[in-house]
Amino acid sequence: MADILILYYSVNESTKKMARLIARGVEMVDGADATLRTVSNDETKDNASDPLVEINDLKNCSGLILGSPTHFGNMAAPLKSFIDKTTAEWFNGTLAGKPAGVFTSTSSLHGGQETTLVSMMLPLIHHGMIIVGVPYTEKKLASTKSGGTPYGPSHVSYNNSQDITDDEKENYFLIQLTQSENISKKISSEKVKNKVISLLKRSAVAVENSKIIEKIITNKFLKTDFDNLALNNNLKIEKIKLSGINDTKKIEEELVKNIYQMPEKKMYVFSDKNLNKNLLVYVNEIKNVIIDKKSKDYKKYYEQTRSKLINDIYKTYDKYLSNEYKVNVNNNAVERVKKYFE
């Protein structure tokens, strides 16, 4: 049995009426149950005739339909407040892969229905939900003179003077689940075990790295601590001499660049993005090489430095001109000029 959670906020009954019509539609689908929930707010004129939503409702549902009146082209604050508290569910993927739809009600025809619907979609997309709207195969989308959008069902109440029209009622079919499957992973699976162990190891490494970095920053991790860490954990201290920033024989290019930004007698922790490789680096000595002005190397480095300085100056000046006079460069013309002088 698929449980569809219909979560709404209502002030003047309209959104609540829509929620009930949607629930009726869900119940008409074989194998689907509708669960109506609302959010609390002191200003609501409804007396919370439906139960208040709980986090477990999100965990237990097979699909979610959100509804809110339009508040300045956005979803209402009470509903947004509840969604903002679902960080843990987002992190754990509680709603990932589940279908979702949205609906709204406004008091005027141009009250911001579609922007409100989109504002409710955005957090659902972040949760990894599959958004379902009202497709244009629903012919009445092209003829309705009241509510109804491809983003989701809507209603125009004209300051509560108009009830939900027949056209609006017929546009409330959002989701039909044809199959429900339990895909929960078993801890007995070797693949799941290895994944869990990998995540636990990565988490432990991240914690230890953070502790060391904090001590380094506060000057509580000295060279003696560096040596003791290696000794107590049977780790090998490898002494490496780098001949230049392009020396990547033993260390990756990105790490070499980071090391060259470090001052002498300082240390830091460097890791790859998956925390598979973690290095505690101590810069023991920096030697400044003196180059003879008559040598070929001096001339080569001089020209490279001079060229870089000139390019940096030109780039700065070009940026200044562009900002000052709003110059638009015709790149095609520039390329033609370049080829002419080649």
* CA–CA gap between residue 36 and residue 20 (Å, rounded): 8
Predicted pLDDT of residue 121 = 95
pLDDT digits (tens, 9 = 90+) for 310-323: 777 777 766 666 66
More confident residue, 187 or 134: 134
Would you place residue 291 in the very low, low, confident or very high pLDDT band (cuts 50, 70, 90)?
A: confident
How large is the average pLDDT for residues 301-307? Answer: 80
pLDDT at residue 326 greater than cutoff 60: no
Query: In which domain, by residue range, is 263 found?
Result: 210-282
pLDDT of amino acid 328 = 59
More confident call, 93 vs 192:
93
Residues 31 and 159 in one domain: yes
pLDDT tens for 101-115 read: 999 988 877 788 899
One-letter amino acid of 90? W
Average pLDDT of 17-21? 89
Q: How confident is the model at residue 166 (pLDDT cuts 50, 70, 90)?
A: low
| pLDDT (tens digit per residue) in 199-237 | 788 888 888 888 888 888 888 888 899 999 889 988 888
**Percent share of the chain, pLDDT over 90:** 19
Residues 161, 24 within the same domain: yes
Q: Is 253 part of a structural domain of the chain?
A: yes
Same domain, 269 and 317: no
Q: Which of 249, 282, 315 is the last residue of a domain?
A: 282
115-130 pLDDT, tens digit per residue, is 999 999 999 999 999 9
Q: Is the pLDDT of residue 28 over 60?
A: yes
Residues 278, 148 within the same domain? no
Is 166 in the same domain as 20? yes
Q: Examine the domain organization and report whether 85 and 166 are in the same domain.
A: yes
Of 112, 140, 170, the one marking the end of a domain is 170
pLDDT band at residue 329 using 50, 70 and 90 as cut-offs: low
259 with 250: CB under 8 angstroms? no
- What is the domain-level CATH number for residue 45? 3.40.50.360
Q: How far apart, in Å, are the Cα atoms of 89 and each of 118, 128, 193?
A: 21, 11, 22
**Rounded average pLDDT over 183-200:** 75
CA distance linking residue 5 with residue 33, whole number of Å:
9
Write the pLDDT tens digit of every residue in 55-95: 999 999 999 999 999 988 899 999 999 999 998 889 888 99
Q: Is residue 10 part of a domain?
A: yes
Nearest C-alpha neighbor of 120 from the set 74, 72, 160, 52:
74
104 and 67 fall within a common domain: yes
Residue of 252, 279, 282 whose CA lies nearest to 265: 282
For residue 190, being part of any structural domain is answered with no
* Cα distance between residue 130 and residue 286, in whole Å: 55
- Looking at the structure of the chain, the number of domains it has is 3
Confidence of residue 188 (pLDDT cuts 50, 70, 90): confident
How much is the pLDDT for 317? 63
* pLDDT score recorded for residue 46: 47
The last residue of a domain, from among 282, 306, 325: 282
> 164 with 268, same domain?
no
**pLDDT number for residue 176:** 45
Give the pLDDT of residue 318.
65
Regarding whether 238 and 157 lie in a shared domain, the answer is no
pTM greater than 0.85? no
